[in-house]
Amino acid sequence: MKTYEMVIGLETHVELSTKTKIFCACTTEFGGAPNTHCCPVCTGQPGSLPVLNQSVVEYAVMAGLALNCKINRRSIMARKHYVYPDLPKAYQISQYEQPLCEGGWVMLDSGKKINITRIHIEEDAAKLVHQGGAVCIDYNRGGVPLIEIVTEPDFRSAAEATEYLEKLQQILRAVGVSDCRMQEGSLRCDVNISLRRQGEAELGVRSEIKNLNSFVSVATAIEYEYERQEEILSAGGIVEQETRHFDADTGTTSSLRDKENADDYRYFPEPDIIPVVIPDSVLERLKSAIPELPDAKRARYVEELGVPEADARMLTKYRKVAEYFEEAAAGVKTPKTAATFIVTQMFALIQTEAERENWSPPVTAAQLNELIKLLESDKISRNVAKRVFGQMLESGKPATAFLTEADLVGFNPASLEPLCRTAIAENPKSVEDYKSGKEKAIKALVGAVMRASQGRANALEAEELLKKLING
């Protein structure tokens, strides 16, 4: 057992998928030439005044509802002061004493509940770009709407932290409030970590690791920081409260500055924005818009549709994939078949996170549904269906474009035994190998039967019959 226990809390910044920024009409579209998606408001020019985007509030409320939060019917914006080049006003408009959402939770697969302290809305800062020793500022990101999701210090391992972040990403994508693309910075995580001796209740001195933008970085930073703090404490030293930077190339953290406290930011109510009030009608409308969430959807796929757990996880990870699966499986006898086609053949072709998130495959869900119904009506064999589906993926054409008369003839079950006997007679080496205990040798015999039947025989039935004939 380790001498010290790690205690971790996470602060996750999520960019909302509104079309315009939080306090102005500038686009939130990712990319673009530097400093082209900005205006006097989001660059903090004197005399400019912010106007709160209603969609930002509604998206944040939906996130709070999906994460089991209490929605505060009245909340206020606040000024958070700090001087840094990415913040031209020298303050950030955020929330402090009266946030929009409080007291939610996310359930891990182990049954452990990770408690959420608060969710508040705020504006993103500009992006600093380091080029050849110079630091340039791109204000395109400045003013993009964020929610900050703050947890209690409930994590005790890197694995728990990454599982929480994966679930958070899936939930927010399912609700449609953010694309949560870590590679584009629309989901970023700060890790607060401290150590204490096993069995102790008092928290240790924490370090904050800023702006981690991948699950791997979060896990690596936590493990490194645990080892660093453990070494200090084991040697009788004292861990300093500070903010640290993570270097993904080396997998190490380094000191940035002393950790700020709330007093350092000199919070006070934002005088240019009136309090945010959520009417009953708006709250009810937003509650009714919350879809079935990933964990519930996965359980339904497994328990009601017979989809294997691993496949259900893959399908529910992406909102559009789940929608595609449900349309493809509508009215079929075995929805598991639709899941298998998607997770095997389609995912082999559509591999990147961005492609699966956007999900616009060449084969429509209706075309896959038609193929499965042909298979289930015994008009084609599974092998034919697999071959034809591959051709559909290459061309975007329906199954009927590739099915021949021979494919649709089907297979006479009475033909299976003669084919199996022929395969045994023509492959004595494989028969002897199987008899000597080489289980894989039976596959060669099955292959012979499948070739002789032009792929129309049932491979599982052929294997069972071959074993029966060989074993006498």
pLDDT of residue 157: 96
Cα dihedral 109→110→112→114 (10° resolution): -40
Greatest mean pLDDT among 128-137, 259-268, 306-315:
306-315
> Which tens digits make up the pLDDT trace of 252-263?
999 887 666 666
In terms of pLDDT, which residue wins out, 256 or 332?
A: 332
Whether the per-residue pLDDT at 288 is higher than 70: the answer is: yes
205: exposed, middle or buried (C-beta count within 10 Å: 0-12, 13-18, 19+)?
A: middle
Calculate the dihedral angle through the C-alpha atoms of 246, 247, 250, 252, rounding to the nearest 10 degrees.
-20
Cα 352 to chain center, whole Å? 12
pLDDT tier for residue 378 given thresholds of 50, 70 and 90: confident
**Lowest-confidence pick of 182-196, 362-376, 453-467:** 453-467
Averaged pLDDT, 360-377: 93
What pTM, to 2 d.p., does this model score? 0.83
**Measured distance CA(337)–CA(146) in Å, rounded:** 40
Q: How far apart are CA 40 and CA 38, in angstroms?
A: 7
Residue 409 corresponds to which tokens in the numbers above?
């003839």
Please report which confidence band the pLDDT of residue 109 belongs to, taking 50, 70 and 90 as the band edges.
Answer: very high
In this prediction, residue 111 has a pLDDT band, given cuts at 50, 70 and 90, of: very high
- Alpha carbon distance 389, 384 (integer Å): 8
Q: Which of 65-69, 195-199, 202-206 has the highest mean pLDDT?
A: 65-69
pLDDT, residue 405, reads 65
pLDDT band at 133 (very low <50, low <70, confident <90, very high): confident
SS3 annotation, the chain: CCCEEEEEEEEEEEECCCCECCCCCCECCCCCCCCCCCCCCCCCCCCCCCCCCHHHHHHHHHHHHHCCCEECCEECCEEEECCCCCCCCCEEEECCCCCCEEEEEEECCCCCEEEEEEEEEEECCCEEEEECCEEEEECCCCCCEEEEEEECCCECCHHHHHHHHHHHHHHHHHHCCCCCCHHHCCEEEEEEEEEEECCCCCCCCCEEEEEECCHHHHHHHHHHHHHHHHHHHHCCCCCCCEEEEEECCCCEEEEEEECCCHHHHCCEECCCCCCEECCHHHHHHHHHCCCCCHHHHHHHHHHCCCCCHHHHHHHHCCHHHHHHHHHHCCCCCCHHHHHHHHHHHHHHHCCCHHHHHHCCCCCCHHHHHHHHHHHHCCCCCHHHHHHHHHHHHHHCCCHHHCCCHHHHHCCCHHHHHHHHHHHHHHCHHHHHHHHCCCCCHHHHHHHHHHHHCCCCCCHHHHHHHHHHHHHC
Percent of the chain residues topping a pLDDT of 70: 97
- Convert the pLDDT of each residue in 430-446 to its tens digit: 888 888 888 888 898 88
Give residues with Cβ within 8 angstroms of 447, minimum separation 6: none
Arithmetic mean of pLDDT over the chain = 91
Per-residue model confidence (pLDDT) at position 456: 72
Tell me how far apart the alpha carbons of residues 121 and 123 are, in angstroms, rounded to a whole number.
7
Quote the pLDDT of residue 76: 96
| Confidence band, pLDDT 50/70/90 cuts, at residue 154 | very high
Of the pLDDT bands very low, low, confident and very high (cuts 50, 70, 90), residue 345 is very high
The pLDDT, as a whole number, for residue 367 is: 95
- Look at residue 406 and tell me whether its pLDDT is greater than 70: no
Question: What distance separates the 2 farthest-apart alpha carbons in the chain?
Answer: 93
Rounded (10°) angle between helices 158-175 and 54-66: 130
Mean pLDDT of 146-175: 96
For residue 416, pLDDT over 70 is answered with yes
Domain ranges of the chain: 4-286, 292-409, 413-471
- Please state whether beta strands 242-247 and 207-212 pair in parallel, antiparallel, or not at all (unpaired): parallel
Please state the rounded mean pLDDT for residues 216-228.
Answer: 95
pLDDT at 138 over 70: yes
The share of the chain scoring above pLDDT 90, in percent, equals 69
pLDDT of 413 strictly over 80 = no
Nearest CA to 324 out of 373, 376, 367 is that of 367
Residue 68, classified by CB atoms within 10 Å of its CB into exposed (0-12), middle (13-18) or buried (19+), is middle
Q: Which of 4-8, 118-122, 155-159, 256-260 has the lowest mean pLDDT?
A: 256-260
Residues 6+ apart with CB under 8 A from 455: 381, 383, 384, 387
Residue 410, pLDDT score: 62
CATH class held by domain 413-471:
mainly alpha
For residue 408, what pLDDT band results from cuts at 50, 70 and 90? low
